[in-house]
């Protein structure tokens, strides 16, 4: 179901980007995307942003909190993977037409040890362990660098293989690793909790063929936790949920041995296909398994259920996991490896047991959905895209409409690296790295007319590395 119009418009954008003569990029090396993985030496004190263009919607007031790795190198040594840099929380505050930025590293045991040693020695997703590094739980390796969630008045810096870390939302000071109960200390907490429209939080923590299902109240208090056995030890960065079910996608990127770095314990076994496990939220012992052809993935959109019991959700599916296993390692060294781009794809789990994949025809990542409709029927998925050959990172933001089979997108051009955009009320809020200005920009777009471009753009006096995920918190 490749949509002709979408295909042509994207082909057009891609052609335009590629048509920019090299001469026009003079003074900017072909690999200046490396700015996206530059080290930030220390915390960024609060500063006002310069408005470059447009006007902020008067009703938009709050803070876009974002997280992402911002320190990769120390004393001649480097992280072995993009995912292993130290987490830095960025607070982009919008108020009365003005915008401010503050950013602070999460003060983790990993960062403290590496500061003291003056070297990157703590093992991670793709970083081997240095000599004599004490690791008694994965929290000793916790980079706290993947996303943020506000709960109970505290900001939680999220990772995936260990605890969330509490951060003061006003000062961004680290308060410590979060235990939701003493018995659950050091239990992993994925960076992609699924939050129901009334605020209840569901999340997973994974270890081999076991998942801990977390259920928290809207204020972040533990309501219940239960271990659920999984049919395979699959790498999982994200899961999804309908109003009544948890939907756990088990790609055939399987942990078949122990060891560090973690990514080296995984083997891609496409012949095993992808499995989807659907679990009843009201009784976690009740589950069904669906079988699909093999795909790799990091991110899924929210899921919903139809009257006949069909479950639908979209995801950004890759032909294989080579981005995570190889390209995202090489990036730290400034080397680009072309790997399959993720394709925005609808997955349907039919009541008879059949499962199907339907491609949108667009390449997309960082799918986000309106939080007011989480778990409920929806048609729109916010995403980034506009990839160009020969370099990593997205250049466009869009809203794909599954009913109209149409993408309402805005391409920032080859000189802007587009980070995740989050839907908030009538707007999309997100950041880009402007390679010419060597600065990070904050943008607000009209969610109903993305193609028009930013309603307002502010520019910081600093470039922050390309981040992962964030959330907008209303003032």
Partner 1 sequence: MFRLLAAAAILACAAPAAAAPLTFAFTGIETPKGAILMSVYDSEEAFDRGGKPLVSQMVAVAGTSVEIVADLPPGRYAVKAFHDIDGDGKMGTNPFGIPLEPFAFSNDAVGDMGPAKWTAAAFDFDAATPRHAIKIR
The annotation places the binding site for Fe cation at 192, 237, 299, 469
Q: Is 210 in the site for partner 1 (CB under 8 A)?
A: yes
Among the listed ranges 56-64, 183-191, 237-245, 413-421, the one in contact with partner 1 (CB under 8 A) is: 183-191
Does residue 124 bind partner 1 (CB under 8 A)?
A: no
Sheet holding 98-105, edge to edge: 44-48, 98-105, 87-95, 62-69, 470-474
Using a 10 angstrom Cβ sphere, with 0-12 exposed, 13-18 middle and 19 or more buried, the burial of residue 61 is: middle
CA distance 372 to 200: 12
- Among 9, 28, 77, 207, which residue sits at the site for partner 1 (rule: CB under 8 A)? 207
Q: Out of 63, 127, 138, 203, name the contact with partner 1 by CB under 8 A.
A: 138
CB of 256 to partner 1, least distance (A): 16
Q: Point out which residues pair with 264 in neighbouring strands.
A: none
Assign residue 405 a region (left: φ > 0; alpha: ψ between -120 and 50; beta: otherwise): left
- Residues 251 to 290 in contact with partner 1, rule: CB under 8 A: 258-260
Q: Which two tokens stand for residue 218?
A: 């809207």
**Minimum distance between the CB of residue 250 and partner 1, rounded to whole angstroms?**
18
Draw the binding track, 37-76, toward partner 1 (x: CB under 8 A; -: no contact): ----------------------------------------
Binders in 323-382 for partner 1, by CB under 8 A:
none
Give the nearer residue to partner 1 in terms of CB position, either 262 or 297. 262
Residue 188 as a binder of partner 1 (CB under 8 A): the answer is yes
202 pairs with which residues across the strands? 194, 215
Q: Can you tell me the distance from the alpha carbon of 265 to that of 256, in angstroms, rounded to the nearest whole number?
A: 6
Stretch that binds partner 1, among 58-66, 184-192, 378-386, 449-457 (CB under 8 A): 184-192
We find the least distance from the C-beta atom of residue 207 to partner 1, in angstroms, to be: 4
Neighbours of 383 (CB within 10 A): 29
133 touches partner 1 by CB under 8 A: yes
Here the contacts of 23-32 (C-beta below 8 Å, separation 24 or greater) are: 28/415, 28/435, 28/436, 30/390, 30/391, 31/334, 31/336, 31/391, 32/435
Cβ(455)–Cβ(54) below 8 Å: yes
Q: Which is nearer to partner 1, 52 or 260 (CB)?
A: 260
Q: Please count the residues of this chain forming the interface with partner 1, following the rule CB under 8 A.
A: 23
Binding to partner 1 in span 218-247, by CB under 8 A? 227
| Alpha carbon distance 448, 428 (integer Å) | 9
Nearer Cβ to partner 1, position 139 or 419? 139
Tokens found for residue 457? 């753009």
List contacts with partner 1 (CB under 8 A).
129, 132-138, 182-188, 205, 207, 210, 212, 227, 258-260
């Amino acid at each position: 179901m490749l949509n002709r119009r979408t295909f042509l418009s994207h082909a057009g954008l891609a052609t335009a980007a590629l048509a920019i003569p090299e001469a026009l990029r003079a003074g900017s090396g072909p690999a200046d995307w490396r700015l996206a993985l530059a080290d930030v030496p220390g915390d960024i004190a609060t500063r006002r942003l310069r408005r470059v263009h447009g006007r902020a919607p008067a009703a938009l007031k709050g803070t876009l909190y974002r997280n992402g790795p911002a320190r990769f190198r120390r004393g001649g040594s480097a992280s072995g993977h993009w995912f292993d840099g130290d987490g830095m929380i960025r607070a982009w505050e919008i108020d009365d037409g003005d915008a401010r930025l503050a950013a602070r590293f999460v003060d983790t045991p990993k960062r403290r040890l590496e500061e003291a040693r003056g070297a990157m020695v703590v093992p991670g997703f793709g970083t081997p362990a240095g000599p004599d590094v004490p690791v008694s739980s994965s929290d000793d390796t916790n980079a706290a660098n993947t996303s943020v969630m506000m709960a109970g008045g505290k900001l939680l810096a999220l990772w995936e293989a260990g605890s969330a870390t509490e951060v003061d939302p006003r000062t961004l000071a680290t308060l410590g690793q979060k235990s939701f109960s003493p018995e659950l200390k050091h239990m992993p907490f994925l960076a992609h909790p699924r939050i129901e429209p009334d605020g209840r939080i569901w999340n997973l923590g994974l270890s081999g063929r076991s998942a801990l299902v977390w259920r928290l109240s809207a204020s972040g208090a533990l309501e219940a936790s239960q271990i659920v056995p999984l049919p395979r030890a699959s790498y999982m960065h994200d899961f999804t949920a309908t109003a009544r079910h948890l939907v756990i996608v088990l790609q055939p990127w399987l942990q078949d041995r122990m060891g560090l770095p973690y990514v080296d314990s995984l083997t891609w076994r496409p012949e095993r296909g992808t499995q989807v496990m659907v679990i009843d939220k009201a009784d976690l012992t009740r589950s069904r398994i669906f079988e699909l052809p093999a795909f790799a993935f990091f991110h899924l959109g929210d899921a919903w259920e139809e009257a006949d019991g069909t479950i639908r959700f979209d995801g950004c599916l890759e032909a294989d996991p080579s981005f995570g296993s190889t390209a995202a390692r090489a990036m730290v060294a400034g080397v680009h490896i072309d790997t399959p781009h993720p394709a925005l794809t609808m997955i349907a789990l039919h009541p008879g047991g059949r499962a199907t994949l339907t491609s949108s025809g667009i390449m997309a990542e960082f799918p986000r959905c309106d939080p007011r409709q989480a778990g409920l029927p929806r048609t729109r998925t916010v995403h980034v895209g506009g990839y160009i050959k020969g370099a990593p990172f997205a250049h466009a933001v869009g809203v794909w409409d599954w009913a109209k089979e149409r993408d309402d997108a805005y391409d920032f051009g080859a000189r802007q690296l587009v980070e995740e955009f989050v839907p908030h009320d009538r707007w999309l809020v997100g950041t880009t790295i402007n390679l010419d200005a060597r600065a990070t920009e904050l943008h607000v777009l009209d969610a109903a007319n993305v193609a028009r471009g930013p309603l307002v753009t502010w520019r910081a006096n600093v470039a922050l590395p390309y981040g992962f995920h964030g959330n907008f918190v209303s003032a």
